[in-house]
Each structure stands twice: as structure tokens, then as C-alpha cells.
Amino acid sequence: MAAFKILTAVLAVLCAWYFYNQETFSEEMIQGKRVLVTGSSSGIGEQMAYEFARLGAHVMLTARREERLQQVVQKCRDLGAASASYVVADMSNLTSARRVVEETKNHLEGLDFLVLNHVGGTRFGHFEGTIESVITSMTINFFSYVQLTISALKMLNESQGSIIVVSSISGRVQSPFAVPYAAAKFALEGFYTSLRSELHLRKADLPITVAVLGYIDTDSAVSSVHGKVKMAPSPKEDCAREIVKGGALRQREVFYPYWNIKLALLLRDWQEPVPAGMPVRWAPLRAAPGMRRGPPHCRFRMLSPDPPTSTSFSPLNCTSPKGPA
Ligand SMILES: NC(=O)c1ccc[n+]([C@@H]2O[C@H](COP(=O)([O-])OP(=O)(O)OC[C@H]3O[C@@H](n4cnc5c(N)ncnc54)[C@H](OP(=O)(O)O)[C@@H]3O)[C@@H](O)[C@H]2O)c1
């Protein structure tokens, strides 16, 4: 009994110490800072731009759709951004990625937050077995992130700035039907966590926040998995706020939605793989006899495999004519 009381007291002191030492988020952490947000013409990137704008940052936006960028820039100004501008660029071209950083330097004369968020060149569906789809995904969703980082490093070092990398649960847990996307997200996690560790060993003050996201209600995500994923998406506005806050507080990781991601990470070693040699096809969400659950983080429902059409699994012999879009 005495031991229990001592343990409780020690735990209470540790908790109090932990919460006392937690830095709290304040507007001054963002006010007047110079921020580049990629993929900010829609979705989470657009919402992060609004969040930075509300807090009085100088925002530089980039994506391919100029009209959308103009609208987002206008809204950023209305929300109170210290300044807002954009540069049109396609991240499938690494020269464009370099140019975005140069334009940012010309406009903002430095950089405090590099927010890497854009996503493109992938679709939710069977891996069609071509190297091109993987190269496209790796170029847009990985190499361009690396190029932007390399080009911005000097500015970030000078300002003692931060990098925010928007990743996904697909960068930590196997993700059927998103193979090229998952490859790029796993690569991001490997690159940025290793870079963070190396910078730490070199005593460089450049924090890297990796945001690990679940299913968020952006138009593109909802339309691409509509009817195929059972769980409800989380709100993009709240997601953007959590990422900006985590970046400002220089946290190593942001999990959103927190408990879904934590649970998925906890269960990842128990995920059922799709049996080798067995093509799969999509099933309606209402369970039918013979169905089994997919991985816990995405809750796809897959039909029991069709009769095998070949002895070894090849993405090219998946039999679904109605694969996901
Ligand atoms: N939504 C989710 O459920 C979810 C889940 C996990 C992780 N994430 C991650 O969150 C981030 C944002 O996702 P989101 O759902 O907000 O995506 P989104 O709404 O589709 O927005 C993607 C952004 O990237 C830009 N983009 C696409 N291709 C591009 C290219 N080739 N060059 C330059 N910009 C390009 C798009 O603008 P343009 O078309 O104008 O170029 C758009 O601004 C991504 O990193 C994604 O992996 C999202």
C-alpha cells in the first residue's frame, strides 16, 4: 500500500513536471514569419495557408492552378496575412521546384517555415505494374520535396527556421491499392527522420516536423475513396491547425487524427497481408458472407479472393474491371 502511494506521488510529480515544461502555442510564434506552403491551391495546404495567414505570417503559395492560387491568396490577405503571393509550378519538374525557392527568396528575402504538402500523380487503385507510375509518384511526392529542402536549406539555416513535412499513415503502414503513393511516403519518412537525426548530431538547429495523417475530408481524398473506405474522414481545417501548431512548437511528429493513427501504428505488425497468388477485387461496404476486414487503419473490405487465375500474384492479373478510380 505504501509502495502504491509512493508510486502515485512520483507519477503525479512527473506529470506536473511534464506539463509545466510543455511550451504552449502562441500567435507570436507565427506572426511575421515567412512561410512557403506547397500544394496550397486546395485541401490541407489551402487550409494551412489560411491558418498561417490568420496568425499574421507572410505566405508564399505554390501549385499548378493559377486561378485557384489567386483566390487563396486573396482570402489569405482578407484573413490578415502580413503578405500573400504565389508562384505557379509543377513539381513533376525538379527545376520548377528549385525556381519556387528562388522566387520565395526574391519575394520574402528569407524563409522561416518550409511546408511540404503537395501530392499528385497517383490514384487509388490496383498497382498496374508499370515503372512509370512509381517514377511519377516518387518525382512529385518525394524527389521534389527533397529538391525544395536542398534549395531552401541555406535560408532555413540563416533564419533558424523549420521544415514541416506532410506524410501519411501510408508512409508507416502497408497500404494496398496505393502502392506508388505509399512508396513515396515511406521514402519521405526515411529521408526526413534520418536527416533530422543527422542534423541533431551535427548540432544544427533545424527542426523537422513530420505530420502523419489519416483520412481527411479533402475533396480529392473523399472522391477517390468514396464508397471504398468505411471510416468517416476528419476535418481538414482542424488537421491544418494541428499541423501548423506542431510545426510552430517544433514537435518531431504530429498525428492526426491522433488515436486512429496511434492505433494503426500499434496494430501494424498484425495486419493481414493479401494472400499471395490470389487476386482481389473490391466489395461493397456491407459485409457479405466470405468477406474479411482489410487493414485496421483503412478498413477496406475485400472480397474473398477470386479463384486464382495464375500460380503467382502479379498486379497485372488482378481481376477487377471496376477497380477504384
Ligand atoms: N486527404 C487525406 O485523406 C490525406 C491522408 C493522408 C495524408 N495526406 C497528405 O496530405 C497532403 C495534402 O493532401 P490533400 O488531400 O490536401 O491533397 P489535395 O487536396 O489533392 O491537394 C493537393 C495539392 O497539391 C497540388 N499538386 C498536385 N499535383 C501537383 C504537381 N504536380 N505540382 C505541384 N502541385 C501539385 C494541388 O494543386 P494543383 O492541382 O493546382 O497543382 C493541390 O494544391 C498530401 O501530402 C497527402 O499525401 C492526405
CB 247 within 8 Å of CB 156: no
pTM, two decimal places: 0.85
Q: pLDDT: is 99 or 6 the higher one?
A: 99
Please give the pLDDT value at position 3.
74
Residue boundaries of the structural domains of the chain: 26-268
* Selected catalytic residue, list 50, 145, 181, 256: 181
Please give the pLDDT value at position 20.
59
Mean pLDDT value across residues 41-70: 98
Q: Is the pLDDT of residue 1 over 80?
A: no
Q: Is the pLDDT of residue 292 over 60?
A: no
Which of 38, 44, 140, 164 most suits a substitution to test ligand 1, by most atoms within 8 Å of the C-beta? 44
Reported as a single tens digit per residue, the pLDDT across 214-263 is: 999 999 999 998 878 888 999 999 999 999 999 999 999 999 999 999 99
Please give the pLDDT value at position 272.
66
The ligand 1 site (C-beta within 6 Å) comprises: 39-45, 63-65, 68, 89-92, 117-120, 140, 166, 168, 213, 215-216, 218, 220-221
118 CA distance to ligand 1 middle (Å):
4
CATH topology of domain 26-268: Rossmann fold (3.40.50)
Reported as a single tens digit per residue, the pLDDT across 57-107 is: 999 999 999 999 999 999 999 999 999 999 999 999 999 999 999 999 999
Mean pLDDT value across residues 290-307: 40
Mean pLDDT value across residues 181-192: 98
97 CA distance to ligand 1 middle (Å):
15
Q: What's the mean pLDDT when you consider all of the chain?
A: 85
Please give the pLDDT value at position 4.
72
257 CA distance to ligand 1 middle (Å):
18
Q: Is 181 a catalytic residue?
A: yes
112 CA distance to ligand 1 middle (Å):
22
Which atom of ligand 1 is nearest the CA belonging to 117? 45
Distance, in Å, from the CA atom of 159 to the CA atom of 204, rounded to the nearest integer, reads 12
Q: How confident is the model at residue 130 (pLDDT cuts 50, 70, 90)?
A: very high
Please give the pLDDT value at position 8.
76
